[in-house]
């Protein structure tokens, strides 16, 4: 997952904010419905994990930019932590697959997880 984030370096330094319509398009493409506020979203795109269509969001966090990978159809058992020299992350199960949330050390990732869970409803 860190490799996916590093594969899109321009998204890590995004300065602008995407339109709400673009955010809704990406969320819907991966089986979700936006029902609340995620925060300032700088980047949203579709990518694939094996045959599964997934979404990547770059959201402004408390410390810096946070990458959120929405991975329907990619199931995991229980939450996992991710670590690299520059980034920390969590991977958590969702009703339709999993979600990875990655940010700089010190970023409150579980707060971002709760924000995403409150803002997005997943279609089964």
pLDDT at 87: 87
Average pLDDT for the chain: 89
The angle formed by the CA atoms of residues 72, 84 and 12, to the nearest 5 degrees, is 65
Average pLDDT, stretch 77-89?
Answer: 90
- Per DSSP, what are the bridge partners of residue 32? 122
Q: How confident is the model at residue 10 (pLDDT cuts 50, 70, 90)?
A: very low
d(CA 14, CA 33): 24
Which domains are assigned to the chain?
2-122 (3.30.200)
Q: What is the pTM of this model?
A: 0.90
d(CA 28, CA 56): 12
pLDDT at 93: 95
pLDDT of 11 strictly over 70: no
pLDDT at 83: 86
What pairing do the DSSP bridges indicate for beta strands 80-83 and 88-94? antiparallel
The three-class DSSP label of residue 95 is coil
What is the chain's length?
Answer: 124
């Amino acid at each position: 997952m860190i490799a996916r984030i590093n594969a899109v370096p321009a998204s890590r330094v995004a300065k602008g904010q995407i339109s709400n319509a673009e955010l809704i398009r990406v969320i819907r493409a991966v089986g979700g419905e936006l029902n609340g506020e995620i925060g300032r979203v700088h980047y949203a795109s579709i990518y694939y994990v094996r045959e599964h269509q997934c979404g990547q969001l770059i959201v402004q966090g408390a410390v810096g930019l946070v990458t959120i990978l929405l991975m329907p159809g990619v199931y995991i058992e229980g939450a996992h932590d991710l670590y690299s020299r520059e980034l920390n992350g969590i991977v958590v199960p969702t009703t339709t697959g999993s979600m990875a949330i990655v940010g700089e050390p010190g970023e409150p990732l579980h707060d971002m997880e709760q924000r995403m869970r409150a803002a997005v409803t997943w279609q089964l």
